[in-house]
Each structure stands twice: as C-alpha cells, then as structure tokens.
Chain A
Amino acid sequence: MRNAAVVGFAQSPSVRSTQGTTNGVEMLVPVLSEIFAQTGLTKADIDFWCSGSSDYLAGRAFSFIAAVDAIGAFPPINESHVECDAAWAVYEAWIKILTGEADTALVYGFGKSSAGELRRVLSLQLDPYTVAPLWPDSISLAAMQARLGLESGRWTEDDMAAVAARSLADATSNPHAQRSGALTDNAPLIADPLHSYDVAPISDGAAALILTTEERARDLIERPAIISGIDHRIDSAVLGARDLTDSPSTRTAAAAAGARDIEIAELHAPFSHQELILREALELSDAVRINPSGGPLAGNPMFAGGLIRIGEAAKRVHSGDASRVLAHATSGPLLQQNLVAVMEAQS
C-alpha cells in the first residue's frame, strides 16, 4: 500500500476575537495563499478537499458551505466536511490517498469561537437527554476531572502549573500564539481547582495542511513528514462510566498508530491536567519534547486546534529538528475522542 505525507502547513494567528465572519473566509484566504506559495501547488493540483468546523460554533446551519468560497469551489470540486476537529478531516484525506482516490489533498479547519459563549455552546456535545439539558459548561467539567486527579494523587497543582509554564515559555517563539511569557502570580481560580493558566484561551483561528502521496511529496519537499500510522478511538460518552483520569482510547489509538521512539509530541490538551493524562496514556518518556509550539494553552482555535498539532509536528520533520514525531488531537468533552498520528522522515 502506498504512503501519504504532509508536505505543507499554514495557520492564521490565534486571536481572542476577529472581525471576520463565522464562515472563516477572511481567515482562510491568507492561510490558503500561504500554503500554495509554500508548496508551489495551485488549487488545480488538489484532488480532494476536506474541512472541519461546526454549525454550533457559527450559530448557522450548513455554515461550512459558505467557507468553500475561500477555496475557489467553481468549477465543482471533490469536497467533504467533518463536524469535528479538522484532524479528523486529515484522517479522511489520508484514507483517500491510501485508497488511490486522490494523490493530493488539502485539509482545512476553522473556528470563530468568539461569536458565541464557547463554554456554553460546547454543552451541546453532551448527552441530550440527561446531561446537556443541565448546560454543564466545558470548563466546569474539566475542573471536576482535574480534581479527580489531584485528590487521587495522580498529579498535583504544581504538575499542572509546570505544564502551563512550559507551554507559555515555548510560545514566546511562536508568532501565531495568542498568549505567551511567564505564568503570572496570583492567577485567578476560574473554576476551582483550575487557574486561568490551566485553561486554553478562547481563540479564533484557521489552519490548512496539504497531504500527497509519498512519491509526489519527494518532488515537492526535501523531508516530507510521512504518516507511518494514524488511528482514532473513542471512550464512552457517559461521563460517570469511565475513569476520567485516564484516556484508554488514546492508549489504544497510539498502539495502533505505532507510537514509539517519539522525539517530539504535539498534544491537543486544552487543559493542563489533560496533558498529564495524555503523556501517561501515550507512555511518553521525559526525553520526549512536548508541544515546542506552546500547544493549545497558548492558543486553541476550535476545530483547527488538533489540525494545528499535526501541522506543527510535521514542520519539525520538514525542518530536520526531528525524524519521528507524534501528533494528538481530541474532540468532544473531556478527551472523549482521540486521534494519534505518527510521522517520520523516511518510511
């Protein structure tokens, strides 16, 4: 079977709020021009387009339809959409390439989280019978998960703060980061036990990534990031039915994706303690460099945050910083769905 590789990646800055529309066109147009300039490809080279975004974030039905203006959808194109983080659109594009239905695919994700009240909007991904009607917000749920770990001795508040401190320090060298620098003393508790630095900021942003066959990739770029394994799994949607301090679906996905001997890992943990859960599930040693981009705590555009992890990890292969990297993406509440991709310089 043939391989697919990431050959290009571009992203908008993550910002607290843009003046753009919820269909993401304004954010996507510059990102797409950048990725075409970077790879030398044009829209005529793209066999398959796939995106990730959400109507609930936009407050409009079929909101992704307007976004296709940004990709120049006439004459008609071969296009698909996931109502999930665009990392899952990468998975769909990867399948298209492996099955020979496409040689080149462009994946994009976008979200204008600032348009609504994000922590309330995200309640609607919960069980609609017995949970969502209570409107439990995403930050309160994560705070309960954090406390379970703290009180069971799985981690400490210092462990959580260390994740945030490392993320914000690393983000100082990331021009797309929304926040960076040092942790502030007296950071407020925004949902006991979570401090403001434990929670990813509300971000508007977009990103795009190009995948090609390994063969074509070698013509385009010196060190393509070849996807040697990718898998996604899901844990129970019933919050009370699973151990919230663990992520069995990540563990299973990592095993299926062949996640070992990793040098750099980009982890999609919107809350500091979730990185601790993921590190354990992925069995990452202390030698693995985690989120050198600053990670989601430095900026987390909804529905693009996981795609950005794949792009940031791939860039480390392109640049020669690493030969074998891991990217993780999550979707749904409290690490419910998890995707793991392993990329390497040579297969």
Chain B
Amino acid sequence: MTTDVAPLSAPLNIGFDYTRSLGPVLSRFMTALAQRQILGIKGSDGRVHVPPVEYDPVTAEPLTEFVEVGTEGTVLTWSWCPKPVEGQPIQQPFAWALIRLDGADAGLLHAVNVPSPSDIRTGMRVQVQWAEAPTGHIRDIAYFVPTDPGTSAAAPQAPPPPESKRDDEDRVTTIITPIQLAYDHTVSAEESRYLRALADGKLIGQRCAECGQVYIPPRGACPVDGVPTTTEVELPDTGIVTTFCIVNVPFLGQRITPPYVVAYVLLDGADIAFLHLVRGCDSADVRMGMRVRAVWRPKAEWQTSLSNIDYFTPTGERDAPIETFARHL
C-alpha cells in the first residue's frame, strides 16, 4: 500500500573523537608546532615538504631529514570561502590558500584571514597566526594573516581540538580530532507506515507480493525478490522467542542494568523476528519457543517508535515446538 504522506525523517547527528597515533615523522612535526616551530622534510629530489610526509610522494622512499622552515610564506594559489562550514579554522568568510613557507618547496594548505577576496592575491606574503594555547595539532596554526599590518581583525575560530597526548619526554604522540557530521535521516515509505502505526498502538507488517513473506518492520524491498513489500498486514502483539541472550556486560550508553534478556521475537503471523527485551521473569527461565506478549508503555508516552513497547513478557502458554520456528533461526 503506498501513500502520498512524506516519509518520516529526523536529524541524525553523529560524532566521534578520532584518536590517531602519529609515528616518528608526524610526531616531530606536531611536537614542534606545540613549540611554535614548523618543520618540513627533505624529499628524495631535495624538495622540502610541509607538512612533512613520511614517504616521498614520487619515489615512495622513507624520508628522515627534517628542516625547520619559516613562519612566513608566499601564497601559491587561493580560493574564497564565502560560507564556512563547521570546523573550518575561521568561522566567517575567509580565503583558503596553498602557502609555500620560506625554506619549503611544496605548499601547505591553510586558511588566510582577510576580509574580502580583493584582499588576497597569488604571490602575497603571509605569516602564521599561532593559536593562543597550542595543543600539538595542525590547528596550532590558527590561520595565516598578511604580513602587511592592519588588514585584518582577529577572526572567530572553530573550537580548539582537545589536547594531544604526550609521552614522558613530552613528545606529542597522539592527536585527537573530533569529527561531527549532521544528516537528515529518512526512513523508507514502508518503514514510515510501520512507525506511524506504532504511534497508534498497532503493529504493521507488509507482505511481499511475490513470495508472500510478511516482514516487520516492512522493507523497502523483499530480500528474496528485490521488489518493494506492498500489502499491509496488521499483526498481533503476541509471539514467541526464537532465540535470546543474557546481557551481563556493562557498556557505554547502556540503559538497563545487567543482567537482562535480549531476544528475537517472532510475532504470530510474521516471517521475520525482531530484537526486543524480555522481562517479567527470571532471566534463567527464558527459553527458545517461549510465548510472549508486548507490554506497552502508557499511551501518553507513545511516539513513532518501537520503544512504545516497553518489553515482552511471558504469557504462561505452552512453548512452541522447535519445528514451528526452526526455519527462522
């Protein structure tokens, strides 16, 4: 059954602080940055790369010869960024540039703080503006500014990265870079019907027109036939436990205190089981084939979510024989 109603969507914000060990070359570079020095490395052809590369970009030879380069340099090319995105060094319109630092041959990519595109040009001289509190990270260079004084005011910056990790000799050994991404996450039309039905206290599955299997939640396409599931089937909130596990291990983000039972519940009339909780009995009493029914949260708390069912609980009926659900294992 199709519908003209738009699918459900919601913001999906994900983030992770990537912690990366540096190795000898980048460790020296980041350690020097924390001391407000910039190191390059000499390539097989004598060209000096900044930031230093571990292996020569042309010959792939390992590189070891560090060279301190200047904190002033020349713009090789640039572009104008009128709408900065989150995390970029400057949080107002600014220029990106490849900058050849004095003593280097290859360009370093960074931001240049100038008020408008008419304030930057190829060949212009720029200098490092250090971050107020260096952490041992590429963003210890806050941004570059023209060497001609008086052309720019301090720019709003992205939040500084966390302090990098150091060893006993105070070398920077690990950098931490927070990565955050924002999405508009949309569920399929079939899943939207299922989630909206949950808000009405109903469990909706859909039947594949070709093989007749009933899927809950319904799928964008039947995994057997590759066609969308279309025929709606209302399912009861009773079923059986096909298989289960007892969670004894605490982990980040856990909402229930262990031990507790996570089970695959196969609703009566469905051809696929879904994961939920089994409560209301001792964990040791949960069995494969045990009949269960949904315990719904109070109606006032219902959302477009399977969390409207708080958990499944034993009905006390006779267990289902294994042969009736073996093909779902």
Residues of A bordering B, CB below 8 Å? 19-23, 25-26, 28-29, 32, 43, 56, 58-59, 68-74, 114-117, 119-121, 124, 128-137, 140-148, 151, 189-194, 236, 238-242, 244
Contact = CB atoms under 8 A, between A and B. Distances in A.
Interface in B72-129: 76-82, 85-89, 96-98, 106-111, 117, 122
A134 B76 CA distance: 18
A119 B14 CA distance: 17
A225 B181 CA distance: 41
B85 A147 contact: no
Given A189-B80, A191-B79, A191-B82, A124 B110 contact: no
Given A59-B185, A69-B226, A136-B88, A29 B20 contact: no
23 contacts: A19-B186, A22-B183, A29-B221, A72-B223, A72-B226, A115-B185, A117-B85, A120-B86, A120-B181, A128-B18, A128-B177, A130-B51, A132-B177, A133-B138, A133-B139, A135-B85, A140-B96, A141-B96, A144-B77, A146-B79, A147-B78, A189-B80, A238-B49
Nearest to B107: A240
Given A192-B79, A240-B106, 14 more contacts: A19-B189, A21-B191, A21-B220, A23-B220, A25-B188, A26-B189, A69-B222, A133-B137, A133-B139, A135-B86, A144-B98, A147-B77, A147-B79, A189-B80
Contacts of B7: 19-20
A140 B227 CA distance: 41
Contacts, number: 182
A138 to B, nearest CB: 10
A116 B20 CA distance: 25
A136 B78 CA distance: 12
Contacts of B224: 72, 74
Would you call the interface of chain A mostly helix, strand, loop, or mixed?
helix
A116 B9 CA distance: 13
Interface of B: 6-7, 9, 12, 14, 18, 20, 22, 26, 29, 49-51, 53, 57-58, 76-82, 85-89, 96-98, 106-111, 117, 122, 137-139, 158, 161, 175, 177, 179, 181-189, 191, 219-228
A133 B33 CA distance: 15
A16 to B, nearest CB: 13
Contact of A116 (B18, B82, B183, B226): B183
Nearest to A135: B87
B223 A26 contact: no
A56 B16 CA distance: 13
A252 B165 CA distance: 42
A170 to B, nearest CB: 28
Contacts of B51: 129-130
Contacts of A135: 85-88, 158
Given A130-B51, A133-B177, A20 B186 contact: yes
A115 B183 contact: yes
A59 B12 contact: yes
Contacts of A137: 81, 85, 88
Contacts of B6: 19
Contact of B111 (A120, A134, A145): A134
Nearest to A57: B183
B173 to A, nearest CB: 13
A108 to B, nearest CB: 11
A10 to B, nearest CB: 14
Contacts of B77: 144-145, 147-148, 151, 244
B226 A240 contact: no
Ranked 8 nearest A-B pairs via Cβ: A143-B79, A72-B226, A25-B220, A192-B80, A240-B107, A236-B57, A241-B57, A240-B106
B185 to A, nearest CB: 7
Contacts of B183: 22, 58-59, 115-116
A140 B79 CA distance: 6
A119 B82 CA distance: 13
